[in-house]
Amino acid sequence: MKSQISSFEDLEAWRACRELRKFIALTIVPKLPREEKFRLQDQILRAARSTAANIAEGFGRFHFLDNAKFCSNARGSCWEVLDHLVTAVDERLVDDVYLGEGRVLVNTSVRVLNGYMNYLKGRAG
């Protein structure tokens, strides 16, 4: 990792959420049935996109606590993605194996976000 952060793209939290977003968009969404296009497919894709987008938006804020709030929103979106994956498995729309893969990506994203949020809160106080 770079020693200096000059863009949200340098943040480990954003990169972890990007991987989650790509997993949902490229692996899960294509497997969902056509009739889920405007239901679960739309919801899970919006939640996954929100994870990284909130980190990027927070990075553009000039106050540490504002940034942390957007990271908190990103963390909530990570858990929403996991819930949608559970739904997809429960309703037999995707195989169980994808839930395990998604769970690892969500947990990684949340762990890194928590660390970044702790850093931000420490800088604010």
- Return phi, psi of residue 61, to 5°: -85, 150
Q: Model pTM? A: 0.93
Domains of the chain, CATH where assigned: 17-124 (1.20.1440.60)
The two three-digit tokens of residue 46, written as one number: 């919006």
Residue 13 confidence (pLDDT): 97
Using an 8 Å Cβ cutoff, are 57 and 71 in contact?
no
Amino acid 3: pLDDT: 64
Question: What integer pLDDT is reported at residue 72 of this predicted model?
Answer: 97
What does the block give as tokens for 92?
């037999």
User: What does pLDDT average to over the chain?
Assistant: 94
For the stretch 62-104, pLDDT in tens is 788 999 999 999 999 999 999 999 999 999 999 999 999 999 9
**So what's the pLDDT on residue 8?**
96
